[in-house]
Amino acid sequence: MNQTNHYFEIHRKHLLAPLLVAGLSPSLSPSLSFAASDEKPNIIIILADDLGWSNIGCFGGIIETPNLDRLAATGVRFNQFYSAARCCPSRATLLTGLSPHESGIGHMTFKRTGNKPSVIAGRLELPYAYRGWLGEAVPTLPEMLKTAGYSTYMSGKWHLGNSNPDTWPKQRGFDYFYGFLEGTSDYFKPNDLHRDNQLIEPEGKRYYTTDAFTNEAVQYLKEHEAKKDKEPFFLYLAYNAPHFPMQVMPEDFQKYRGRFREGWDVLREKIISRQKEMGLIPENTALAPRPEASNRLGSKGGLVPAWDSLSSTQQDSLDAIMATFAGMVDRVDQNVGKLIAYLQKTDELDNTLIFFFSDNGAEAESPVFGDFKIENLGQYGKGGKNYGRAWATFSNTPFREYKHFVHQGGIQTPLIIHWPSGIKTDLQNKIVSQYGFLPDIVETCLDVASATRPSTKNGQPVPVSDGRSLKGALQGKDAPIHTQPICCEHEGNCMVRDGQWKLVRFYSGPWELYNVETDRSEANNMAEKHPEIVQQLSNAFDQWATRVGSLPWDEAKNYSVYPPGKYNF
């Protein structure tokens, strides 16, 4: 049995039999009975960056993620949960419970580097939804939780405004912050690293952001235990992994070197088979075909080829870049394990509500085979730029499309929720099939914390969130989370979900209609068969867009934070 098949067989035993997870520590074993605590829970949001839906073990993936698998085994997994398609729009929603447009980040954040005050002032003349930083009159989740008695901590990637310190984490509700403000960073030598409002240098001979973010987070919790143990805490741990650049610790690279030589065609078939066996997708789900790599995102044209059509040298090189990506994800899991171990040691795990998910699907902002030099992979201090559209297709198995887009591969995120004292016992290790989206995370946090959203801030009315609390779903209620359409838009790519129907389109294309209860990979477009449903849902989208300030992309692209020609819109 080769190494890859051996891994698949191990995880088949770990996750397919309910609650029988090998190596499960006693403190992570299911409770004998369900009893919701009167004590306010601690809340931890762990966010991965550009993680594909099928990258981790408990969602069918080949990468070893035993700590996340254990959280899933004693928690729940959502198999229809949507992000906002891209890094900072998702973060804007995650920290406000509102659409990115209502938060001031209807496109992307406005970069700090090289900006003059006059340029910044010029963006104030733009429509509010496209200014490019988190609006001052919008309350953030940490701000709202603080009113309910929570201490608030953040470690990791901010990406919600950096041109003005008033938009930084310390000024937006966090008691302490360690991380970087921009959208991406070198993992070994970040040049945008801050502690609170102070620019600092990374410390240590083997500095790596994933490790550093976790170490800082654990230190926050140690200090909290020493000084404020009777108060609940909110921790936002926002890893930059596995976002580009592709940089990995050497030992993690070596662990995965050679595991991907079977190639994306064989491995995608194995993963979809596991996903069906685990109950993550319907049995009739089709595997999205290898896609055409268009120029839509500025990448080189051509098809994602069959793996067997490549030379052995090409295959070896592509195995190396995927081993880099896998090692980055593995390192996230290792660090989640460190955090869990600390919570167990301090007897905080049972009453801590933990969310784990990704800000969007796998990224394909690069040529088909990625952008790297093989000799730099697996070297401390070096690495590659991107891992490529072909492997991104693998990471999003079985779905279509990628980050930027609102087809399944761009927005469906692998959500795990772990909360021993708040999840009904017989739901542990179960899959929640009701669909939801990021505003629900915020509403759940406010619900369990007995916190409220203010009606006004800075003299301005605060929009009402479209989110709904997930607490009922965590206690076994089968009712839909949403009874009204939910919508998403990014760069003109639009989506409406209402019951079994999903209406979706590319920025320059017609509406497509899918019954995603039976057609999870969006293989059978039913728009021509059901024009009345297309009309109904497109009307719902138009009403939503008007309410939140989402403009047609032909107009909104004029307010892009990027120079003209950055992407081929």
> Is it the case that residue 413 has pLDDT exceeding 90?
yes
Per-residue pLDDT, 335: 98
- Cα angle vertex 326, ends 370, 434, to 5°? 100
Q: Would you place residue 428 in the very low, low, confident or very high pLDDT band (cuts 50, 70, 90)?
A: very high
Buried/exposed code over 321-347 (b: 16+ C-beta within 10 A; e: otherwise): bbbbbbbbbbbbbbbbbebbebbeeee
Averaged pLDDT for residues 165-185? 95
> Is it the case that residue 19 has pLDDT exceeding 90?
no
Averaged pLDDT for residues 379-392? 97
Please check whether residue 52 is in contact with residue 392, taking contact to mean a CB–CB distance below 8 angstroms.
Answer: yes
Q: Would you place residue 294 in the very low, low, confident or very high pLDDT band (cuts 50, 70, 90)?
A: very low
- Residue 126 tokens read as 């733009």
Buried/exposed code over 407-430 (b: 16+ C-beta within 10 A; e: otherwise): bbbbbbbbbbbbbbbbbbeebbbb
- Specify whether the backbone of 173 is left (phi greater than 0), alpha (psi in -120 to 50) or beta: left
Q: What's the pTM?
A: 0.93
Round to whole Å and give the CA distance between 569 and 565.
8
Per-residue pLDDT, 8: 52
Share of the chain above pLDDT 90, in %: 83
Going by their DSSP bridges, the two strands 501-505 and 493-498 should be labelled as: antiparallel
Please check whether residue 305 is in contact with residue 234, taking contact to mean a CB–CB distance below 8 angstroms.
Answer: no
Per-residue pLDDT, 493: 97
> Is it the case that residue 24 has pLDDT exceeding 70?
no
Q: Would you place residue 11 in the very low, low, confident or very high pLDDT band (cuts 50, 70, 90)?
A: low
Round to whole Å and give the CA distance between 389 and 364.
5
- Residue 261 tokens read as 């030589």
Backbone angles phi, psi at 82, to 5 degrees: -110, 140
Going by their DSSP bridges, the two strands 233-238 and 151-157 should be labelled as: parallel
> Is it the case that residue 14 has pLDDT exceeding 90?
no
Averaged pLDDT for residues 277-297? 80
Round to whole Å and give the CA distance between 325 and 544.
37
Other Cβ atoms within 10 Å of 301 Cβ, number: 11
Share of the chain above pLDDT 70, in %: 89
Q: Would you place residue 4 in the very low, low, confident or very high pLDDT band (cuts 50, 70, 90)?
A: low
> Is it the case that residue 299 has pLDDT exceeding 70?
no
Please check whether residue 401 is in contact with residue 408, taking contact to mean a CB–CB distance below 8 angstroms.
Answer: yes
pLDDT digits (tens, 9 = 90+) for 304-360: 999 999 999 999 999 999 999 999 999 999 999 999 999 999 999 999 999 999 999
Give the DSSP letter of residue 206: T
Q: Would you place residue 22 in the very low, low, confident or very high pLDDT band (cuts 50, 70, 90)?
A: very low
Element housing 251 (H / E): helix 250-256
pLDDT digits (tens, 9 = 90+) for 31-77: 333 334 468 999 999 999 999 999 999 999 999 999 999 999 999 99
Please check whether residue 553 is in contact with residue 490, taking contact to mean a CB–CB distance below 8 angstroms.
Answer: no
Other Cβ atoms within 10 Å of 512 Cβ, number: 18
pLDDT digits (tens, 9 = 90+) for 354-383: 999 999 999 999 889 999 999 999 999 999
Round to whole Å and give the CA distance between 487 and 307.
37
pLDDT digits (tens, 9 = 90+) for 113-167: 556 677 778 888 899 999 999 999 999 999 999 999 999 999 999 999 887 888 9
> Is it the case that residue 30 has pLDDT exceeding 80?
no
Round to whole Å and give the CA distance between 565 and 217.
39
pLDDT digits (tens, 9 = 90+) for 221-235: 999 999 988 899 999
**Mean pLDDT value across the chain:** 91
Per-residue pLDDT, 519: 96
Round to whole Å and give the CA distance between 53 and 71.
16
Other Cβ atoms within 10 Å of 374 Cβ, number: 15
pLDDT digits (tens, 9 = 90+) for 37-49: 468 999 999 999 9
> Is it the case that residue 504 has pLDDT exceeding 80?
yes
Round to whole Å and give the CA distance between 148 and 449.
7
Other Cβ atoms within 10 Å of 227 Cβ, number: 9
Domain ranges of the chain: 3-19+26-482
- Residue 397 tokens read as 């198995």
* Domain 3-19+26-482 -> CATH class: alpha beta
Per-residue pLDDT, 110: 81
Please check whether residue 400 is in contact with residue 521, taking contact to mean a CB–CB distance below 8 angstroms.
Answer: yes
